[in-house]
Amino acid sequence: MDVWQGVLEDFSDLPDLGQTIRLSVRLVLAALLGGMLGFERERTGKAAGLRTHMLVALGAALFVLIPQQAGMPLGDLSRVIQGIVTGIGFIGAGSILKQADQQQIKGLTTAAGIWLTAAVGVSAGLGREASAILGTLLALFILTALQRTSLWLSGKDGEAQRTH
């Protein structure tokens, strides 16, 4: 009987249906919004795509949800968020390549996108769903519409259309 009681205690972090739904909505929303960003990156042929962005957003949401559930004070939770931002910086740094022969740096937008995806996950995890959605929509606008504008301004728009 002691073993069964121990198992019940281990699974008691979701004490009621309302809490379970709240947690599920936040996690699913984080994964879906990360997926939207990842799909856009994958569609344009970038290495960090759908699954990477979904996992980053979901992980960031979990990292803030669990301490929040445990009743961690806001000051301590801010340190958790600082850790997420720093950790994601290492993932982003891994996506940046310097091509010395062409004197180009590639992957900065991918790194920034992963960083933003973590912020979307944190927003969703903290229950700021509207902020997470707005951040995702703005990021999608930047990644799509502003890319076309940038190509047009640099005179590469016609060139881009011929290669696709």
42-55 mean pLDDT: 91
Residue appearing with tokens 């445990």: 70
pLDDT number for residue 163: 46
Average pLDDT over residues 19-44: 95
**Quick one: pLDDT at residue 117?**
97
Confidence of residue 99 (pLDDT cuts 50, 70, 90): low
Q: How sure is the predictor about 66, in pLDDT bands with cuts at 50, 70 and 90?
A: very high
Cβ count near 138 (within 10 Å)? 11
At 28 the pLDDT is: 98
SS3 content of the chain, % helix, strand, coil (to 5): 80, 5, 20
Q: Name which residue leads in pLDDT, 160 or 115.
A: 115
pLDDT at 164: 43
In Å, what is the CA distance from 18 to each residue of 26, 47, 86? 12, 38, 33
Contact 57, 33 (CB under 8 A): yes
Mean pLDDT of 107-114: 89
pLDDT digits (tens, 9 = 90+) for 52-62: 999 999 999 99
* pLDDT, the chain, mean: 87
| Phi and psi torsions of 134, nearest 5° | -60, -45
